Amino acid sequence: MKNKIKQGLLWLTAFVLLTALGGTEANASAGYEIKNFLIDANVREDAVVEVKEEISVQFHEPRHGIYRDIPLSLKVNREVDGKMKKFYYRVKVEEIKVKGAPYEVENEDGAKRIIIGDEDETIIGPAEYEITYVLDMGDDRISEYDELFYNLIGNGWDTRINHTEFHVTFEKDADLSGAEIYAGAFESRDTERASWAVNENRIDGTVEELQAHESLTVFTRLPEGYFVGERKESVIPAVIASLLSIVLMCFTVFRFITKRGRQKVVETIEFYPPEGMSSAEVGYIIDGSADDKDILSLIFWLAEKGYLTIEEIQNGKKDPKIVFHKMKDLPMDTPEHIRVFYKGLFGKSATATMKEAGKRLAKRLPSAKAALSSYFFGERKLEDKNVTTVSIVCGIAAGILLAFGVGGAEAFLGIGSSIRMAAILILEIVFFLLLLLRQRNKAFVKQGVTKICAAIWVVLTVMYVIYELFYGLFPVCAVIVLLANTITMFLASATLCPTAYKLEMSGRLLGLRTFIEKAELDRLERLVEENPSYFYRVLPFAYVFGLTDTWAKKFETLAVPEPEWWYGGYYDTYMPMYMVHSMTRCMDDAMGEVYKNMSTTQGTSSSGGGFSGGGFGGGGGGSW
């Protein structure tokens, strides 16, 4: 029996020692511990808390002092009409003063940081600090009740607090019979660890042994109207954004009515590309941009014109080797983008392998694309640039106002408010530019994608409107901003003014594309009889339309002679698909060589009611 008692005592002693040593190790790792923490909080009727904190610290290692962090924002889930609703709050911390050491105040990661101590001196042993500040909680935006949900000590302290004493005084008479004090880890509802008593309008209490990252929180429900004259979030940014959004919308509507081109593209019947127009120029007209494939399509356009030949050298089981042969120089009046490309293809030589051409084109291709864009000016101008520029400015301005307005309607509150605003801005600009580009080239693109994009945006807008009506701080402003800028985005993207030249060329090219897609056999037979090279005459243009396979299949039953400018490979007059395959491989190899050479030269969350660590104030601190 005695042995069992001795064993029990030994185990108990070991447990106590291990627990004590564990606490000592935690404090040792922090380099300090808080011996005593006294909080005196005076709650005013305007929802402002006047706070005095007296902190007694024991430094075990050399430290300059301590720092104190007070959160400036938080999220609280509160019960409204029997349902939980999420609220974001902005906190103001002012009138900060410290006794016992020099100090500095700065904003750090969404908190007000008070850095106490002298960077030229270190301390070992005891130190006393007194911190006073005023914390403005602001309006709770709840019409059913008021409450105090306040962290006397937050869960941000990285060391043990041996003893805590607190006094919470309400400046105005209050029924504190339902007050509760929570102590423990974050979201703990433990009311047993703290000892407290209510004396009229005052709560006094103590807590022993708060471990690192444990909190002490006071919570009490108060009648609605207890707090009066609270600070309210400013509606001015939301109102400004709403007014500017309305002005921009009206301006965009006016431009849509007065500036938008009224004429439409009229498709004509075409069997040949427009005379004097290269495949690169056609590629630019159909999508409004100078693409790599537009420029590279000139290989076959120039070959068909007799300026070069292409030799396919068989290489065993490997893909054939492609060699370009220069046949003659370009005329002096050749457009600049074709001259730049031709020079890049051959350089000073009369022949060029695919690898050699790729190295030169990697340097020349950007210049050729720029020259292609510059080609369309004067009589060849495709659109009124001023109208397009103003439309783009309006669309981007709508995105800026939308992001700023939504943020202002929520008083720029909430975790990640700036990230959400940035996401809205980016999303609007992406949608706007997508709609603008498709509207710009609507004659050549299927409008199904445009309609889907528009539908997605409308659905997102409606969802956000519903959200703001239920949860927004200033819902009317939010709805105005959302609807006005959505209208601006759609109308600005549709306010374009194509020239008569573009309308004419688009109609002819649209007719050519339709013929490539739907040509009848008897019509093709007559065209081949008139021009045996008809298949190759149209092929570069089919390539920029993305219809090479479609075009080749039309000729599967027709005798198509081998082109004079392509030789060395297998050819059958009834196998145009093989020719297309070889040419496509040639284009892919060219792009591959170009790209290869370009790369070598170029606050916290909470639930309803109260618990430890979820309210205003609190925060934490550490040593430095």
Task: Examine residue 619 and state whether it is found in any structural domain, yes or no.
Answer: no
User: Is residue 476 within 8 Å of residue 404, measured between CB atoms?
Assistant: no
Q: Which of 23-37, 161-175, 383-397 has the lowest mean pLDDT?
A: 23-37
| Bridge partner list, 166 | 39, 205
Per-residue confidence (pLDDT) for residue 279, from 0 to 100: 95
* pLDDT higher than threshold 60 for residue 355: yes
Strand 180-184 to strand 48-63: parallel, antiparallel, or no bridges (unpaired)? unpaired
The dihedral through the CA atoms of 368, 373, 378, 381 has a sign that is: positive
Q: How far apart are CA 47 and CA 561, in angstroms?
A: 91
Q: How far apart are CA 133 and CA 4, in angstroms?
A: 57
Instruction: Tell which wins on pLDDT, 619 or 429.
Output: 429
Structural domain containing residue 315: 279-382+499-598
Q: Would you tell me how many other CB atoms lie within 10 Å of the CB of residue 109? A: 8
Render pLDDT for 237-273 as a digit per residue (tens, 0 to 9): 999 999 999 999 999 999 999 888 777 889 999 999 9
- Quick check: helix, strand or coil at residue 308? strand
Which of the four pLDDT bands, split at 50, 70 and 90, describes residue 578?
low
Task: Examine residue 46 and state whether it is found in any structural domain, yes or no.
Answer: yes
| Bridge partner list, 323 | 311, 353
Instruction: Look at the pTM and tell me if it is higher than 0.85.
Output: no
What number is the average pLDDT over the span 109-118?
Answer: 88
Per-residue confidence (pLDDT) for residue 130, from 0 to 100: 95
Going across the sheet that includes 215-223, the strands are 180-184, 215-223, 145-153, 616-617
In this structure, are 75 and 137 located in the same domain?
A: yes
In this structure, are 388 and 378 located in the same domain?
A: no
* pLDDT higher than threshold 50 for residue 21: no
In this structure, are 372 and 521 located in the same domain?
A: yes
In this structure, are 343 and 446 located in the same domain?
A: no
Task: Examine residue 378 and state whether it is found in any structural domain, yes or no.
Answer: yes
In this structure, are 373 and 390 located in the same domain?
A: no
In this structure, are 198 and 329 located in the same domain?
A: no
Render pLDDT for 22-64 as a digit per residue (tens, 0 to 9): 444 445 457 899 999 999 999 999 999 999 999 999 999 999 9
Structure-token pair, residue 550: 């479609």
User: Is residue 162 within 8 Å of residue 24, measured between CB atoms?
Assistant: no
Q: How far apart are CA 181 and CA 190, in angstroms?
A: 8
In this structure, are 119 and 164 located in the same domain?
A: yes
For the chain, the residue count is 624
Task: Examine residue 10 and state whether it is found in any structural domain, yes or no.
Answer: no
- Quick check: helix, strand or coil at residue 305? coil
In this structure, are 153 and 57 located in the same domain?
A: yes
In this structure, are 479 and 514 located in the same domain?
A: no
In this structure, are 551 and 513 located in the same domain?
A: yes
Going across the sheet that includes 351-353, the strands are 351-353, 318-326, 308-315, 566-567
Residue type, 539: L
Write the CATH number for 198: 2.60.40
Task: Examine residue 59 and state whether it is found in any structural domain, yes or no.
Answer: yes
Render pLDDT for 469-518 as a digit per residue (tens, 0 to 9): 877 788 899 999 999 999 999 999 989 888 899 999 999 999 999 999 99
| Burial of 354 per CB tally in 10 Å (0-12, 13-18, 19+) | middle
The distance between the two most distant Cα atoms of the chain, rounded to a whole number of Å, is: 121
Q: Which residues contact 569 (CB under 8 A, 6 or more apart)?
A: 312, 314, 320, 582
Q: What is the total count of domains within the chain?
A: 3
Task: Examine residue 327 and state whether it is found in any structural domain, yes or no.
Answer: yes
* pLDDT higher than threshold 50 for residue 570: yes
In this structure, are 444 and 356 located in the same domain?
A: no
Which of the four pLDDT bands, split at 50, 70 and 90, describes residue 566?
confident
Task: Examine residue 207 and state whether it is found in any structural domain, yes or no.
Answer: yes
What number is the average pLDDT over the span 192-213?
Answer: 91
In this structure, are 376 and 390 located in the same domain?
A: no
Task: Examine residue 41 and state whether it is found in any structural domain, yes or no.
Answer: yes
